[in-house]
A and B are shown apart, each in its own frame.
Chain A
Amino acid sequence: MSPASHIALRFTVSRKRSLALSLVGVIFGVAFFILTQAQTQGFERYFIQTIIGTSGAVIISDRFQSRYTSFSDAGARAAEDVMRSRGQGRRKYYEGITNAAEIMRVARQFSNVSACAPVVQGTVGIRSNFTSEVLSVQGVDLDAQLAATALRSQIIAGRIEDYRASRAGVMLGSLLADKLQVGVGDTVQMTGPDPKPRTFTVTAIFRTGNNIIDERRGYIEQRAAQGLLKKPGLVSVIIVKLRDPDRAPEIAAHFERLFGHRARSWQERERGNLQIFSTLRLSAGITVSLIILLAGFLIFNTLTMAVMEKIREIAILRSMGYRRLDISVIFLGQGILVATIGSVLGAAAGALFTYLVSLIPIKVTGFFYTDRFLVAWSWQHYLTAAAIAFIAVLGASFLPARRAANLAPVATLRGSGQ
């Protein structure tokens, strides 16, 4: 330990009462920062998990054709760039995917792609003995769908195996099933472009937690959907599951160029909602950082008082050969000690608070479904909180430390001698 650090430690211990308040501020500031970040990111991550689990990381849909053409590749790329900069407004779209098998075969060769699922989509009428509703029907290849989405974990009634065994089974969203007042084993009738109704048996009910999906969506076998929607051989979208969903925008952009089909990443599809989460997280972070800044202000106050009280001791230390830097370190050292102890204890308290909050039962539906507080465990929260604590505390310690270092010992000694 350096001589200055040794003195800093002793000064800190001797001023433990006044520094304790600052320390408590840092501890709670760091702890609450970690807690709020863990909560907001916990909900955000679960939301992302829900949307990726339901609709995939990337969705490949309609074929498009550029309205600008060029004989050269460079010219084509330039036109493409122009289109992108204009929000893809210069494209002509053709509904659906006609070569889904070929696109999936190529897509699966990408190392980041773990599964693909073709889906036929459309809107039909659905009628139970109780009422009629609009159904967003999804014609799926069950095995591919299970591999590419979290459908299996979303089933809350019935069994996937019963759906598989049934020749005309349907899996309904939980809210839609409530509206229709049907349960597993009941029958419903669907009416598409062909006015002749078709009968399906409810073999399972799923809940994604997203109300918009749960009150409109239903899954049926793909060929049945093609027949019902009169879209023989057509696939509306391909759901792509990625091993690293964070890279979805790059993969989507690459797929667009490669396949000539629209490809949207989950980040693009949910941009608005993700911005809400980011804003909430930032807002919570700023609010809680104010506690740490307040602690920094207390430290500034304490150290400024300490410099005034220790003015003769600073002069005597200088007379004994302690440098200006040593004097700075003595006072900065007290700040470093408070920031270090505050960050360590704050991180421990933050982890404890986060754990306790995760046990609180709370029912959330709308964006997603959960029956408990969601938290995210990330070392980045702890690192950021500690960084804020150090910046605030060292910033607050800097001015008193500089003042102490710049004190002219002669002025103090001369004044004391008179």
Chain B
Amino acid sequence: MDDTASSLACHGLEKYLGEDESRVHVLRGVSLAINPGEVHAVVGPSGCGKSSLLYILGLLDRPDAGTLWIGREEIATLSDDLLSARRNEELGFIFQFHFLLQDFTAIENVVIPMRRLGGSTDGEMRERAAGLLDAVGLSDKADRSSRALSGGEQQRVAIARALANDPAVILADEPTGNLDTANSARVFALLKDLVHRERKALLLVTHNPAIAQACDWIHTMRDGLIVDSAWHG
């Protein structure tokens, strides 16, 4: 893989968690490159460092060692505000527990990242959000309070929200872990289709073997290291 052409790449990432006696070396030199149009799965047993890797790649946490690029920009030295800006412009997150803002409607949840990005009128933002909700099959529930949506619907809103600012990279932590089989398959198919169609990059952490097998790449982690990377494309 050519690092400079990757949407997201890291080299030699190391991370420690905890202090003193409880200090754990959760990442022991992880290197990875995710290119546009690829779907990567990270699998491994609990505690192997999958989530830590995801949060560092998502600029929510800083590595103790190693380098990280988004596109051609090395982001290790960026300030907290600039990291926030990169998250807003370049990354989209999908979490297992979807984490919608409960006081907001479905469409308002999708608009939230756009407001931070700026540059669009209220009408433009709502129009784009409506389109994204339509893409995930929720056009008829756009104005419903997020509390009134089912788990599957909430996760689809979270996917629409992750795509709101047209990010180059989508990071997902067990995106189907809280859904039934039918919804799980539907959500994954939606994401995969989007990545291939719009040449975005997707990295997802999953325990679901079926989902992992359907990805282009499977990275197996153990004890803070990627012990195997297999191409399934």
Query: A3-B115, A313-B101 are known contacts. Are A323 and B95 too (CB-CB below 8 A)?
Result: no
Q: Which residues of B contact A325 (CB under 8 A)?
A: 81
Contact (A319, B112) CB under 8 Å given A10-B103, A14-B103, A313-B99:
no
Total number of residue pairs linking A and B with CB closer than 8 Å? 83
* B213 touches A (CB below 8 Å): no
- Are A321 and B60 in touch, CB under 8 angstroms? no
Using A6-B115, A410-B55, A414-B55 as known contacts, say yes or no to A320 and B87 having CB atoms under 8 A apart.
yes
A319 partner residues in chain B, CB cutoff 8 A: 58, 60, 87, 93, 95
Task: Tell me if B102 is interfacial: C-beta within 8 Å of chain A.
Answer: yes
Chain B nearest CB from A109 CB (Å) reads 66
Q: Contact: B51 with A3, CB < 8 Å?
A: no
Report if A11 contacts B (CB, 8 A): yes
Pick from B85, B112, B118: contact of A7, CB below 8 A.
B112
Interface residues in B83-135 (C-beta closer than 8 Å to A):
84-89, 91, 93, 95-97, 99-104, 108, 112-113, 115-118
Within 8 A of B (CB), among A20-44: none
Known: A10-B104, A320-B88. A410 touches B60 (CB 8 A): yes
Query: Count of chain B residues with Cβ under 8 Å from any Cβ of A?
Result: 35
Contact check, B116 vs A417: say whether CB atoms are below 8 A apart.
no
Tell me, in angstroms, the Cα distance from A188 to B174 when the chains sit together: 107
CB 8 Å contact bits of B148-173 with A (1 = contact, 0 = none): 00000000000001000100000001
Residue of B nearest to A13 (CB): B103
Do the beta carbons of B51 and A323 come within 8 Å of each other?
no
B74 within 8 A of A: no
Measured between C-beta atoms, what is the minimum distance from A13 to chain B in Å? 8
Contact A416–B97 (Cβ < 8 Å)? yes
**Known contacts A315-B99, A321-B85; is-contact A414 B93 (Cβ 8 Å):** no
Cβ–Cβ < 8 Å partners of B173 in chain A: 413, 417
Indicate if the CB atoms of A410 and B99 lie closer than 8 Å.
Answer: no
B85: which A residues are within 8 A, CB to CB? 321
In the complex, what distance in Å separates the CA atom of A315 from the CA atom of B98? 12
* Contact assessment for B102 and A313 in the assembled complex, using a CB-CB cutoff below 8 Å: yes
B61 contacts A by Cβ under 8 Å:
yes
Bound: A334/B31 CA distance, A: 44
* A318, CB-defined interface residue at 8 Å: yes
Asked if B80 is at the interface (CB within 8 A of a chain A CB), the reply is yes
Q: Which of A287-319 contact B (CB under 8 A)?
A: 312-313, 315-319
| Residue of chain A at shortest CB distance from B79 | A323
Q: For residue B116, which residues in chain A have a CB less than 8 angstroms away from its CB? A: 3, 320-322, 326
Instruction: Report Cα–Cα, A344/B51, bound state, in Å.
Output: 49
Decide: B84 and A322 in contact? CB cutoff 8 A: yes
Q: B96 to A417, Cβ gap below 8 A?
A: yes
- Asked if B95 contacts A316 (CB within 8 A), the reply is yes
A402 at the interface (CB under 8 A from B): no
Expressed in whole angstroms, the Cα–Cα distance for A319 and B91 within the complex equals 9
Residues of A with C-beta under 8 A to B174: 417
Return the 10 tightest CB-CB contacts between A and B, nearest first: A321-B88, A3-B115, A14-B103, A316-B99, A321-B87, A320-B113, A323-B84, A410-B61, A319-B93, A410-B55
User: Can you spell out 16 A-B residue pairs with CB atoms less than 8 angstroms apart?
Assistant: A3-B118, A14-B103, A313-B102, A316-B93, A316-B95, A316-B99, A317-B112, A319-B60, A319-B87, A319-B93, A320-B88, A321-B117, A410-B61, A413-B51, A414-B55, A417-B96
Extra contacts, 12 of them, besides A324-B81, A413-B173 (Cβ < 8 A), are A3-B115, A10-B104, A10-B108, A11-B103, A313-B102, A317-B112, A319-B58, A320-B87, A321-B86, A321-B113, A414-B51, A416-B99
